[in-house]
Structure formats: structure tokens, C-alpha cells
Structure 1
Amino acid sequence: MALPNRKVYTGNSRRLLLAFDIGTTFSGISYSILDPGTVPEIRPVTRYPSQEQVGGDSKIPTVIYYDAMGKSCAIGAETLKEGIETDAEENGWNIARWFKLHLRPKKPAAAGRPNPNEPELPPLPPNKTVEQVLTDFMRYLRECAKIYIAETHGDRLWASLEGDIMYVLTHPNGWEGQQQAQMRRAAVCAGLTPNGEEANERITFVTEGEASLHFCISNGLAVSQTDTGVLIVDAGGGTIDITAYRKLSQQTFEEISVPSCHFQGGAYVTMRAEKHFKNLLAGSRFFHDVDVLTSRFDRNTKHVFRREDEPHHIQFASHRERDAALNIRGGRLTLAGRDVAAFFQPSIDAIVQAIKDQRAAAHFPIKSVFLVGGFSASNWLCDKVRRAIEPLGVAVSRPDSHVNKAVSNGAVSFYLDSAVSSRVSRFTYGVECQTLYRPSIPQHLSRAHLVETCTATGRCMLSRCFSTILPKNERVSEMKEYRCDYSYILSSATPVGVTSYEILSYNGTSLSPTFVDDEPSNFPTTCVVHADLSVVPPELCYSPTTGRPYYMVKFDVVLLFGLTELKAQVAYRDCNGTERRSAAKVVYEGP
């Protein structure tokens, strides 16, 4: 499954690349064995413990059962065993399902925030955090990869590569650095890599939208012409990730609008069905069967639904059970087709509106849409989206097969091929700062109470100002640098040590935010950059107002926003005026 011009691997030694697609409802693993001088191939893991009889292209449920002590009893493919629900009920196990969505951004205006009118997510098991559940699941995925690769390629190969595996972890478009940091911590706890710099080097992140683009192009799909754009709609179990791209050359693409993320995946169809069952059966002797009905709807009815005018029957109880008032006969609940359609409708509406929004915001006209992801396998969903979008002059396509491997295979392709050369900034990024107070400016005068006098220089400085580093909706190449100049004013030449700086992300409507106090809730902290300034030489200066000497430490915080993960450095001038660089650490606050 190589791109036409995929390059040979140029490393000095053989290495293993693993990609984990931890989906809301199902997960998958893909990998590539990198041999120097050969063109890498992408392979999916198609066989899992407890699922050996399933054919190729299989995925496993993103589900864990825990006992009362918090120990995992069944995980992944093991949860498909016959009678597992009965075992769980008899032994008092707690289930963790759809747990990935508990990692979603919590900020009020974060991209991809859930709709407050939607049903609530299933809670995590008692005394379990989402990081702990992720840790258990990642440890299981690594073990599955080990067993499959050892059986397929030999024990010796795995043994020779397992100490230096590179990992690609996928996540929805709406997730940011904080979610990446939580996933990295879980990966370290799961034993994927040691902590520290090695974890940063060996764990890479990619959005599900970008992974899906790589899947499409590595499978030979006609993605786009160079003068128009294409939308990749990754309809998964939890989120709908929509990303717009334009082809720049045979192998290179760029984002042409801010990617979007909507919590309207297939799991939300099931949650709406569950809410319907609870309302329907409330107060009846069948209420305790809601879980069975929901499970069978999720596994069967949802996938075969095609027509609004046909009823669907869900067998959930003994054939002797009946209640005409509840449409239950022979232990089967009859569900009207229009009710099933209603469960789908919010998700369909979200996809259609998101496509329209992306077309309006994109820098180039969009002429084609590709539907990938497990939820897009629904013919009802695909047909409804096609009917709404194709009259707009946009072709809607769906790959014939392997849509449920789009993200894991695409994640490997992302690492190998790096087809996206530029991305669009999600927010306006910047820092809170001070500026010279000028009472002639009305906005300054109205903030006179925020003025402070600098002891060393004697100047009046206005605080609570915002300095933009990167505007929203700007196309950013992978290696383009964005700088923010800083200075420390000191009374002596004592070197400055490690200092921290907050990077803010403005998510309001202003095109040029200037003051943080205008909309304080719209300037959340994205991350904190820790920089060691002990190497920066202080510069002797004299106050223009008092004439007294002071020292200034000047430096730039250099940020790279064009990668899938924010990187930072510190730039400064040495005593000879030559620019030097030192590493800076990007740290994200806890959830």
C-alpha cells in the first residue's frame, strides 16, 4: 500500500512503526517495518487474541470490563466472547465504553465541544480516570501488536525491535496540546516508551482528519485537482472530523480552512436510541431490558437501517413476552423506521452543516467530499448526506472498502509520507504583555488604573495587553517560525534562570484582539513555555528618563505551529551578536 512516489527508508537500522487508532467504539492497529534501502509498506493487524477466527480487516471494541477492585477482567476483543454480559452482571463488573470522549476539551469555546442537549456519556468506572483507562487500553494494544507481529514475522524480529518502537497516536480534530499530553502520559504509563525526552521523540500525534487524507491518497483515490479543494469527512463512533485540503503537487497538500470536530458520531445515534427505550419502557416490567435493547440496536439495527417507512424488530426477551401497548410481541420490540431516522438526524444535520461551513470558509472552492470512518458505512447516512450536498455541485464519494482502517493506516502513511505541507491555525495565539502607556489613546486612558511605573526605567507601562503571535485562519507551513520578543529589566547583571511564559489562544470573534480584559474568558492558556535564560547575556542600558543604568535580558520565544504538535525554542544574541538557540519545554496544564 505505497504511494506512487514513496521514498525508500533512509535510516541506518531496521525499526518498527506502530499506529494506534483508539476510536470511541472500535480501535485498530497498523504498522510498518522500516528496512534501510527499501520502500516501506503499511500493514494492518487483522487478528487479535480471542478473535482469531475473524477474517482480515478486523477491528476490536474499545471496551474494558473492570472488577470491583479496579482490575481489568476483559478488554478489547475479549469483550466479544459469548455470555460476557452475563458474566459482568453476575460478578459485578463495571464497563468502560466510549471512554475516549471523556478526554474531550473542557474549555467553553473549544472546537468540538459536545452539545449540552445530547444524552450524557456513560460514566467512567468508579475510581478510574480517563488516563488510567487509556493506559490499560494502550498496554493491551501493544500486547496485541506484539503477538500478531511475532506470529506473522517471527519472534526474533519483534525481540530485535521492541526496545525502540516509534508510535503514532491519532485523535479528533478538536483536540489540542492538553489532550496530546494526557495521551502521552498514558502511553508512558502503559510502557510504550520511557518518560522524558524519549517519549517526546518516539510518540507522534496526528489528527484523524489528516490521517484520513493520507489513507485516501495512499489508496489511489482521485483526491483533487490543484485549483480546487477536497473535504475529508471522517465519521467515527464519537466524532465527525472534517478537514479541507488542496493539492499542491503530486504528493503535497495543504489545509485550506480551520478543521472542525463535532460530537455526533455513531455512538450518539445509539445514545439517542437508549434514551428512547428508557422513555418508552419507563415504569414497565421491561425497563431492566433497556441495556439489551441498546446493545442489539447498536450492533445490528443501526447498521442495516435503510428506509424510513419500514419497521425494525429487536429481539430482547423470551418469545412468550408481549405488550401490545409497547409494540412488544414474541419478545420483540417493533421500532418505527421514522424513529430510527430521528436518531440519525442530528448527526446528518451536523455533517451537512459542517460541509457547508467548510465550503464557505475555505480559501479555494471545494468540489468533492470523501466519507470515511466506520459510521460512514451506514448507507442511510451516506445517502442522506449525498442528497443534501450533491445539488450544491459537490461530488460525495465513499471508498468501497477498508473505511474502518482509514485512520490507523493513514496514521502510518502520515509518518512515512508527510503529504501535508501546511495547516491552518485554529485560534489566534499570543501572549499577555505590557506596553508603553500613551494617555492620548482612548483605550489606554480608560485603563489608567492598570498602569504601573517601571522602577528601573521610570516609564509608565500598561498591563493586560495582548500581543498576537499567530492570527486565526492563517496558513502555516511546517517549518515556519513565529516569534515573540521578550525582555527582562534587571537592576544588576545577575543571570536569569528558568522562566515560564503562558501562550494564550483567543477564541472570540475579534479579528485583532488587543486587550485581555475585554474578553477575559476568551483567552484561555494553551500551554506554558519553560525557557532557561541563564545562557542569555544581560545588556547594559540607561534609563531615558532618569539616566540611571539598568540591565536588560532580550530574547525571542520561537514557536512552530505548522506541525501536528506545538514546538518551542528560545533565540538570543551572544556577546558577538550571533544568534543562538536553546531548547524550550512546552507544558500543558492538567485537565
Structure 2
Amino acid sequence: MSNQKVDYQPPITERNRSQIIIGIDFGATFTAAAYAVASDGMRKVKVLSQWPKSFARPIKGFPKQPKIETVGYYNQYLNMVGWSESEDEVISYAGYPRPGIQKIEEFRYHIAPLKDANLESPPLPPGKTIEGVMVDFLSHVRQSILSQLPDASDLSLDASHISHRYFITIPASWDEDARSKLRSMAIEAGFRVRSETDFALVTGTEAALFQADFDDSSSFQVGDNILVADCGGHLVEMVTYEVKSKNPLRLAKCTGLSVEAAGASAISSCFHNIVREKIKKMKLVNRPPRVYAKCRDFFRSEVIPQFGNPDYPPPAFLDLKRAGDFWCDVGIELEFPEADIEEGCMWFTKEEMLSCFDPSVNQILGMIEEQFCAIKLQQKTLKSCLLVGGSLVNPYISSRVNSCLSLHEIKVIQSDTNLTCVKGTVLAGMRDVYD
């Protein structure tokens, strides 16, 4: 984080002196949290990193910490587990849930899916609902956050006067009904929500701008129109803001929201369908031994972070006919040429990989064009674009998006794509405290 001075620093009053501002970036695929003490000002935002070990297993290509996967693990007693110090409580050494443990993914997205989304609810434990899983997850996140905060004595605060205020990110596309649901679930999860000041909601696009302004206050000025492209794991959201003031930062939307389910999850879903079709061609009576799981992990840990790099994939080790192809070691000794399995590897062509990425990338580029045209119709100038979101870790997506922006002569502002929103959420909360 930048060490530059913050121009706007109102005096600290007795009312807010002992407030701890906690920001939670509650993503559909990953969650992170950070905090700051009001009396310290905006220069000391600290990201939390001591999450339970079973929720912080290292995944190649993804940060080991401070983010955790937005997933829930349930045991046979319908209790959400995995929030202890036992690294082996939930996940085996191979990275799979242990017998009797059920992993629930993608539950947050189901609270407010896009209207045209054709989603199947993830398999749930008996008697559990999506809302119930959300409450369980938020409850454990809250408890884990509190366990990571330093003691009042370490913060030079009076413990009897400390108050916590939570600011949590939501998609810009969420309507009031979805926001109300989240507040209700937060109360059930143990958050103290006496008013919106105790548990406030901040869109990810706004949080990103707060952090970008803090990182480099010269990146945009009053009157500038800034396109924010939030390329998350599920949703890609874009909206253009006009900067109304800088100290404090005030924003006003000047375009409608562009939103598509075009993140890494959609790309992965296309790949999973290809894998399923190959497995069908194996025509095995018994279920193939973890072929699908191995391919899924390979795509997430290797392809998503590296596809588009000139040095990936490395040269094929079988023959020149496979040059440029991708392979996943599925651990099968038998040959299944009809399923593209040779020498224990399932093979994928570059064309197959492009068929996974290009639909989402083309949607993202279309959204940029939509925002550009909306600004042009207002006879305004789009000066810059702030890029954030985990999907931009992929070189292919990042390269094509940057090329599109370059064609329109739009300056790219790129902060820490993984932690911009969680830091910015705290800064948004600090502004609220000082108002």
C-alpha cells in the first residue's frame, strides 16, 4: 500500500475514536477481510491473514493467504466444520473432502442470480437451505475476524469503549431485496446490526475506486469519468462514475450497469463440460477414478493462471503432433484414445481451450463497448478504466481487455487486483466515520 499522505484528515472525536472499521470482501468464490482503527486514520489498513488452515490450503496460481474460498464444509451432524486449527479436519492431504464431509460451493451467487441465469442449486445437506449455508458461513467469518483483531491494549484503546463497524462488499447489480436478505442473514449470523452504520453495504466497484484513489491520488481528478471493470469469479460488472469531489471522495454514476456471468466460473464450466464428454467416451462401467476431479483442479490451478502466457503450455513430451496441446495427468495406466487419454494424461487442444475462454472474453469486450457508447452518447469523455477482480489474473483475459481499452485510447488504472476491494471497503467506512 502507498505511504503517501492523505490530504483529508478530519479531527477524531470522542465518538469515533475507539471505532474499529472492518471491511469484508464477500465474493462468490473468495472472501477477504481487513480493518483499521478510526484514530489511526486511513494510512493503517491491515488485511487479515490468519484464517483457519483447512480454509487456506495453498492452490498453485492462487494466493495462499489472505483470501479464503467462499465454501462451506458440513459433517454428518449437519455442522459446518473446518474453522479450527486442525489442518486435517476437513480436507485430505490430496486436497479432497474427507469421507463424511460435504463441500458446498457457489452459494452466495444464488442469493441474487442474474435474471436470465439457468442455475441449479448446489447439493445441500438434508434440511439446509442456501440462506442457512450463508448464515453459517458468515457466522464463522465473523468469529474468525474477531479472533484475528489485536487486543485493545495493543491498539492503545479503552476496551470498554471499543465498537466494531462492518462494511461489506456486494455486487453492484444487487437490488434492495438482495441487500435486505443479506442484512437479515447477518443479524442471524451474530453481527450487531442496530442500523446501517453498524453493517453498511458497499458495491465492489465503489470500493475499488476508494483504494485506487488512495494508492495514487493523481490517477483521476474531479470531473473525470472513470469506467470500473470488476471482473470477479462469477460476475463481471462495469459502470462509469463521475468524480464529484476528492476530499472526501464522492462519486456519481453516469451510466447504467453492464453485468454478465462471464467470470472464471463460466470459463471453468465450459471446460468441465468438455471433460465430461471425454469421460463418456471412456465407456467404463465403474466410475473413472477421480479423472474429473483431477482435470478440474488442473484447470483451476494451472490453466486459469497461465493460459495466454507464451511459455505455456511447455513443449509436449510425447511427440511433435501434440505441440501446443495441454495435458493433465489423470493417473490412468490404460489407454483411451477416443477420450484423448494417452500415457496417463488427458489431452486438450488449444482450440478446445479457446472455446472455453472466448465466449466470456467476448462478453467482457462487449460490455466495454457498451459503456464506451453510453458515455459517448452523453457527449462526455471516458478518460480511464480501473481494472479489478480475480479473473484478470489470467493473461489471456487481461491482454485482450487491455488491447480493447488501448484501441479507445483509455488509460488503464490497475491496482492490486486481489485485494483492492477489501482495502477500499475499509476506506469507504473510514470516510463514513469522518462525515
Q: TM-score by structure 2 length?
A: 0.82
Equivalent residues of 2:6, 2:42 under 8 A apart: no
Change (3 A) 1:178 1:394: same
Partner of 1:260: 258
- Aligned-partner Cα distance in 1 for 2:18–2:231: 35
Partner of 1:83: 93
Partner of 1:395: 411
- Aligned-partner Cα distance in 1 for 2:26–2:153: 24
Deviations 1:325-380 (A, max 9, x none): 22223332122222222211222112111111112223422132221111111111
Equivalent residues of 2:221, 2:246 under 8 A apart: no
Instruction: State whether structure 2 residue 61 is matched by structure 1 residue 66.
Output: no
- Aligned-partner Cα distance in 1 for 2:367–2:177: 25
Deviations 1:116-144 (A, max 9, x none): 4xx75644444322221121111221222
Partner of 2:34: 30
Equivalent residues of 1:310, 1:337 under 8 A apart: yes
Change (3 A) 1:224 1:155: closer
Partner of 1:130: 130
Change (3 A) 1:120 1:304: farther
Change (3 A) 1:210 1:3: farther
- Which of 308, 327, 352 in structure 2 is aligned with 1:313? 327
Deviations 1:380-406 (A, max 9, x none): 10111122332222234433xx31111
Equivalent residues of 1:240, 1:261 under 8 A apart: yes
Equivalent residues of 1:65, 1:72 under 8 A apart: yes
Report 1:482-493 matches (<5 A): none
Q: Which runs of 5+ in 1 are unaligned?
A: 106-111, 422-591
Report 1:238-387 matches (<5 A): 238-251=234-247, 252=249, 253-282=251-280, 284=282, 285=284, 286=288, 289-306=291-308, 310-318=324-332, 320-362=333-375, 363=378, 364-387=380-403
- Aligned-partner Cα distance in 2 for 1:24–1:299: 18
Offset of residue 263 of structure 1: 1.5
User: 1:67 is matched by which residue type in structure 2?
Assistant: N
- Which of 91, 99, 104 in structure 1 is aligned with 2:112? 104
Secondary structure at the aligned position of 2:82 is classed as strand
Equivalent residues of 1:64, 1:75 under 8 A apart: no
Equivalent residues of 2:52, 2:82 under 8 A apart: no
Change (3 A) 1:114 1:236: farther
Offset of residue 411 of structure 1: 0.8
- Aligned-partner Cα distance in 2 for 1:385–1:133: 35
User: 2:428 is matched by which residue type in structure 1?
Assistant: F
Instruction: State whether structure 2 residue 44 is matched by structure 1 residue 45.
Output: no
- Aligned-partner Cα distance in 1 for 2:432–2:167: 13
Partner of 2:318: none
Higher relative contact order, chain-length normalized (CA < 8 Å, sep 6+) = 2
- Aligned-partner Cα distance in 2 for 1:84–1:234: 33
Change (3 A) 1:4 1:279: same
Secondary structure at the aligned position of 1:16 is classed as strand
- Which of 11, 16, 20 in structure 1 is aligned with 2:20? 16
- Aligned-partner Cα distance in 1 for 2:158–2:237: 34
Question: Which structure shows the bigger proportion of residues in helix conformation?
Answer: 2
Change (3 A) 1:139 1:157: farther
Equivalent residues of 2:42, 2:430 under 8 A apart: no
Partner of 1:574: none
Secondary structure at the aligned position of 2:52 is classed as coil
- Aligned-partner Cα distance in 1 for 2:422–2:351: 35
Report 1:330-479 matches (<5 A): 330-362=343-375, 363=378, 364-399=380-415, 402-417=416-431
User: 1:264 is matched by which residue type in structure 2?
Assistant: A
Offset of residue 258 of structure 1: 1.8
User: 2:227 is matched by which residue type in structure 1?
Assistant: L
Question: Which structure shows the bigger proportion of residues in strand conformation?
Answer: 1
Secondary structure at the aligned position of 1:230 is classed as strand
- Aligned-partner Cα distance in 1 for 2:157–2:334: 57
Equivalent residues of 2:240, 2:255 under 8 A apart: yes
Partner of 1:438: none
Deviations 1:190-239 (A, max 9, x none): 11115xxx144411001111111112111116533545422111111111
User: 2:233 is matched by which residue type in structure 1?
Assistant: G
Q: Which runs of 5+ in 2 are unaligned?
A: 311-322
Partner of 1:494: none
- Aligned-partner Cα distance in 1 for 2:21–2:223: 34
Deviations 1:164-205 (A, max 9, x none): 3111111111101111111111111111115xxx14441100
Partner of 2:207: 211
Q: How many residues align?
A: 402
> 280-289 vs 200-209, which deviates more?
280-289
Offset of residue 74 of structure 1: 2.4
Equivalent residues of 2:238, 2:368 under 8 A apart: yes
Partner of 1:173: 172
Equivalent residues of 1:173, 1:207 under 8 A apart: yes
Change (3 A) 1:410 1:64: same
Which has the larger Rg?
A: 1
Change (3 A) 1:391 1:120: farther
User: 1:42 is matched by which residue type in structure 2?
Assistant: V
User: 1:411 is matched by which residue type in structure 2?
Assistant: T
Equivalent residues of 2:81, 2:90 under 8 A apart: no
User: 2:134 is matched by which residue type in structure 1?
Assistant: L
Change (3 A) 1:411 1:87: closer
- Aligned-partner Cα distance in 2 for 1:269–1:158: 50
- Aligned-partner Cα distance in 1 for 2:419–2:221: 25
- Aligned-partner Cα distance in 2 for 1:256–1:249: 15
Q: TM-score by structure 1 length?
A: 0.62
Partner of 2:190: 191
- Aligned-partner Cα distance in 2 for 1:39–1:23: 23
Change (3 A) 1:340 1:76: farther
- Aligned-partner Cα distance in 1 for 2:171–2:369: 20
Q: Percent identity between the aligned chains?
A: 19
Equivalent residues of 1:63, 1:76 under 8 A apart: no
